[in-house]
Amino acid sequence: MGKSKGNPALGCLLVLAIGGIIYLWTISPIYGIGALVLGLILLMAANWQKDCQICGNPIKRDSYTWTMDDGQKKRVCPKCNQTLERRQSREAIKKYL
């Protein structure tokens, strides 16, 4: 039997949210619809696709944060992360040679 990957806290939060929407629906259908729409908007915002701030490709799973020379932090994709690591390593080797 495989190990469950679900988070129990998220499950409890989902049950509470559904219960809250049903409760608001019993008070007034407008409140229930409003809570449902707000919940969907928040869910979409949480899962909004993020883009690499260097190449612009969508970041699907793994993202890395780099502090650039100008002090700004940027979220980068795995490919750009590999490129930045190689560049950093090359500069470190040049520094000691």
Asked if the model's pLDDT at residue 3 lies above 70, the reply is no
Residues 64 and 75: beta-carbon distance below 8 Å: yes
Asked if the model's pLDDT at residue 10 lies above 80, the reply is no
Asked if the model's pLDDT at residue 74 lies above 50, the reply is yes
Residues 6+ apart with CB under 8 A from 73: 65, 66, 67
- Give, as one character, the DSSP assignment of residue 67: E
Which pLDDT score is estimated for 86?
95
Which pLDDT score is estimated for 5?
57
Asked if the model's pLDDT at residue 25 lies above 60, the reply is yes
Confidence (pTM): 0.52
